[in-house]
Amino acid sequence: MKKIALFFLALALPLPLPARAAEKLTLLFSPTTGLTPSYIAKDQGIFEKHGLDVDLVLLTNQGAVIQALVGGSAQIVTPSALAVIQASDQGIDTVFVGSTSMSPSKSRSGIFVKNGSNIHTAKDLIGKKIGVPSLNTLIHVIARRWLEIEGVDYNKVNFAEIGFQQMYDALNAGIVDGVSAIDPYYGKLETIGYVVGNPDESLPKNTLTSVYASMRDWTESHKQAVTAFRQSLQEAIDYINAHNDDARAAIVKYTKQPAAVVAATPMPELAVTVHPEQVQFFIDVAKHQGLIKSSPDAAKMIAP
């Protein structure tokens, strides 16, 4: 009788719930130090801890980043803040999910020209060709803003798309007269050239350099995933602050830069939360440079 009673008691007990499946998403990333929290969250199991199965896919063309969202090949991408605003202006309902890094920062950046070029000021760049990763995105736009601050009509300076990885060869071969580069590509360029100006230094404090963005409808239907993603990034930043060697190893892995170069690269200023005033800065710059026609509400462009 005792065995029968135990049998029926076992039947009455609730069955254990199946483990909740991890939320799968693809993150399209640029190989920069600003995205170190993503690298750490992936490699240290932080995404997994927060119920996310994140596939990091290298972005090879910054100009196609928003199209990846529209086409559904990625749920979160890492464009410039400007690219998100331009997409919204074109009727693509993109929103900010989080910040990556901010400027001005300890990371090195600047417009490099080749040794012996006899280029020394912003005015010397008139008529010259400058390589930027992508036209009408962050580095291009802040370079034009810097030229204007220096009293130069930026329409008199030619810009060409040159990927970060190709900047050294393009400058060395004379394909371009200068390149606007950032860490960890800065160190290699120092071996053949020098900085004629640093647009980053002209930016307001806490300017967004690149961001995490998504489609509004995805963030609204995946609110739990958005929260988990942000929590993962913050935990990764805390980890980075306590484990500098691991952070640099992750940068080497994901940017494919030599360890010696990364060791000499200052860590970026990292944050997760995007504030309306940071978005408004780029709305104003975009309108001034004729890149957008509308006047979006900065606060409404940030996913809840």
Asked whether residue 63 is assigned to any structural domain, the reply reads yes
Q: What number is the average pLDDT over the span 125-144?
A: 91
63 pLDDT exceeds 70? no
Same domain, 32 and 90: yes
Domain boundary, last residue among 202, 232, 249 = 202
Contacts of 160 (CB under 8 A, 6+ apart): 129, 130, 131, 132, 176
Same domain, 124 and 239: no
What percentage of the chain exceeds 70 in pLDDT? Answer: 92
Domain boundary, last residue among 202, 220, 238 = 202
**What is the separation of C-alpha 203 from the centre of its chain, rounded to a whole number of angstroms?**
17
Domain boundary, last residue among 179, 202, 225 = 202
Confirm whether pTM is higher than 0.95: no
> In which band, very low, low, confident or very high, does the pLDDT at 185 lie, cut at 50, 70 and 90?
confident
pLDDT for res 109: 87
Same domain, 126 and 270: no
Q: Pick the residue with more confidence: 230 or 255?
A: 230
Asked whether residue 286 is assigned to any structural domain, the reply reads yes
Q: What number is the average pLDDT over the span 172-176?
A: 95
pLDDT for res 101: 86
Domain range for 152 is 109-202
Asked whether residue 122 is assigned to any structural domain, the reply reads yes
Counted domains in the chain? 2
Same domain, 163 and 237: no
Contacts of 16 (CB under 8 A, 6+ apart): none
Q: Pick the residue with more confidence: 239 or 18?
A: 239
pLDDT for res 106: 74
Same domain, 69 and 130: no
Distance CA 302, CA 304 (A): 6
